Structure 1
Amino acid sequence: MELLMTEKLNSFQPYTIAALRIMAALLYFAHGSQKLFGFPIAGPESLSTLALISALLEVGGGILLVLGLFTRPVAFLLSGHMAFAYFIAHAPQSFYPVANGGDASILFSFVFLLLVTTGAGKFALDNKR
């Protein structure tokens, strides 16, 4: 019985990975669009070079991940980007992620790391190449 349940649940794995990829990418994209375009809420008046690079990675990487295009290398790059962002911007403020505002960066980093190992799941252009 347990084996049948495990097999049934495993059959949903590619769809669940796709849902995680798409939702994480949309949220990630929103961070970049806020910085670059002031949407959905107003962003900073000006961006430093580091913030501009970050915003471009968030917008470009978010689009590529939503499409499921070059998922593994893009996810690898973005996982490192979020780890870097955490240690540069958040960790110096406090040891505790909930206190330094870096919990989203940590979560994005590990979600993207998961996508490096699992691939895009269903509904990805990677599956057409």
Structure 2
Amino acid sequence: MDQMFSKFQPVALSLFRFITGLLLFQFGVAKLLKFPSGTMFEKVELFSLIGAAGTLELILGGLLMIGLFSRIVAFILAGEMAFAYFIGHFPKGFYPLLNNGSLAIALCFACLYLATSGPGPISVDAAMGKR
């Protein structure tokens, strides 16, 4: 069973990287482009702390989706998510379930994993030979 699943690990890593980037990218789109309308980010200004986070999520999330400069991009995004948790969620309470910080923590550690594991075989980095 282990051998059967392990042969899919490289492709699963690429898919994990893409989905993690997509999740971050959608927050950047919501914060900066106000899409979809009616989200909690309707009043975010570009030159604010949340606007800066949206810029990072939009640009670096896009780079993570295609797998370009994946390790450094993932490392920066892990730091951004840790910062988001401790600035935006932790002051509302200790428990992530109650302070709505669960996604920030999960994305932080997902990006930290991607920074250490690399982009996987289906990426621009792999195509350029930057493994």
TM-score by length of 2: 0.90
Count of aligned residue pairs for this structure pair? 125
Aligned to 1:75: 74
What are structure 2's unaligned runs of at least 5 residues?
Answer: none
Q: What is the identity percentage for the equivalent residue pairs of Structure 1 and Structure 2? A: 40
Question: What residue number does 1:17 align with?
Answer: 13
Partner of 1:40: 36
Shift of 1:9: 1.7
Q: Contact conserved, 1:68 with 1:124, CA < 8 A, in 2? A: yes
What does residue 29 of structure 1 align with? 25
| Partner AA of 1:65 in structure 2 | L
For the pair 1:7 / 2:6, whether they are aligned, the reply is no
- How much does 1:116 deviate? 0.8
Runs in 1 of length 4+ with deviation above 4 angstroms?
none
RMSD: 1.2
In 2, distance between residues paired with 1:101 and 1:6?
A: 35
1:109 maps to: 108
The reply to whether residue 85 of structure 1 matches residue 81 of structure 2 is no
TM-score of the pair, normalised by structure 1: 0.91
Residue identity opposite 1:123 in structure 2: I
Gaps spanning 5+ residues in structure 1: where?
A: none
| 8 Å contact from structure 1 (residues 30, 40) kept in 2 | no
Task: Please tell me whether the aligned partners of residues 32 and 44 of structure 2 are also in contact (alpha carbons under 8 angstroms).
Answer: no
Q: Which residue matches 1:121?
A: 120
